[in-house]
Structure formats: C-alpha cells, structure tokens
C-alpha cells in the first residue's frame, strides 16, 4: 500500500509507463495477489532510497534495474518468469545461524528450564553434534556472486 500511495502522490513520474487509466492501475495494485514489475520497482527504489539489482539466469551478470546512485542495494532473483526472491549475502546466513543458535539456547535454558550442556553431551554421544558441524561447510570461489545466496 505504501508503494501505491507513493505512485499516487508522484503520478507525473509514472503515468506515462502505464497502459490504461492510472486509477484502474492503482486499484489493481491494491490487490495483494497482483504481480509487480519495473514501474513498481522504480517507485520502491525512490521510496526507500535503494537501488535494485536483479539476478535472472545462473552464471550471468545481474541487471542493475534502477540506477539512482543509492549506496544501498536490494538484491533480487527473478525466477519462474513471474516471481522475485530476496538474495542474501552469505554473511547474512552465517550471522542468522549464530542468532538462531543463541535464541534456541536461551529458549531451552530460560523457558523450558533444560540443561543445554547435558543436551549437547547427549547429542555428542550419539554423533549428532559432530555430524551437523561438518556438513554445512561451503567451498569458496573467486566469483563475487558466490558471496550471495
């Protein structure tokens, strides 16, 4: 809805790129099931002061779909011809895993009143802890794109 409001307030910047009546276009965007495209991404870029970079095909350079000169970027992957997914830096996943681990430890200790050290000892005894630690390693590559998932 914030994007629709922005488009409405800045109609003169976007109306030329819309087929049909502008108000009908805005009304259709109010439907959460509606797909968005370049016009809406351009509006979001200006709204949030972030440029958008979109990956479309494996092993191909991404497209810089907005070039407003913003230092912050939003990385997306365009898949199945109609859907955008966020692309996170690998560092994000690593930090998220650490946060999740800490959260679970606090949950077990403070909410469920469980002895985490005892749980870890039991998991180690059956080999689960070692198994899970070794299976998540990812090999590094020289490609800049390998820093994102």
- Where are the domains positioned within the chain? 2-86, 90-147
Mean pLDDT of all residues in the chain?
84
Q: Is the dihedral of CA 91, 94, 98, 99 positive or negative?
A: positive
Q: Are 45 and 13 in contact (CB under 8 A)?
A: no
Q: What is the pLDDT of residue 92?
A: 82
Q: Report pTM.
A: 0.61
Looking at residue 139, what is its pLDDT? 40
Separation of alpha carbons 147 and 89, rounded Å: 6
Instruction: Report the CATH number of the 2-86 domain.
Output: 3.90.70.80
Per the CB < 8 A criterion, the answer to whether 76 and 87 are in contact is: yes
Coil/strand/helix, residue 125: helix
Length of the chain: 149
Rounded to the nearest angstrom, the gap between the alpha carbon of residue 30 and the centroid of all alpha carbons in its chain is: 22
Q: How confident is the model at residue 84 (pLDDT cuts 50, 70, 90)?
A: confident
- If you search the block for the tokens 């970079």, which residue do you land on? 53
Q: What is the pLDDT of residue 135?
A: 45
Region 69-93: mean pLDDT is: 87
Please give the Cα distance from 116 to 18 (Å, whole number): 58
**Confidence band, pLDDT 50/70/90 cuts, at residue 69:** very high
> Residue 119's pLDDT band (boundaries 50, 70, 90)?
confident
């Amino acid at each position: 809805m914030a994007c629709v409001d922005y488009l409405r307030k800045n109609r003169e910047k976007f109306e030329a790129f819309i087929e049909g009546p502008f108000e009908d276009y805005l009304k259709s965007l109010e439907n959460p099931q509606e797909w968005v495209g370049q016009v809406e991404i351009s509006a979001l870029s200006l709204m949030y002061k972030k440029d958008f970079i979109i990956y479309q095909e494996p092993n191909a350079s991404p497209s810089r779909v907005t070039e407003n000169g913003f230092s912050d970027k939003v990385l997306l992957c365009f898949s199945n011809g109609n859907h955008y997914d966020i692309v996170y830096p690998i560092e994000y996943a690593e930090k998220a895993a650490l946060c999740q681990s800490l959260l679970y430890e606090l949950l077990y200790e403070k909410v469920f009143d469980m002895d985490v050290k005892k749980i870890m000892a039991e998991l180690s005894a059956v080999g689960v802890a070692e198994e899970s630690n070794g299976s998540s390693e990812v090999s590094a590559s020289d490609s800049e794109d390998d820093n994102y998932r």
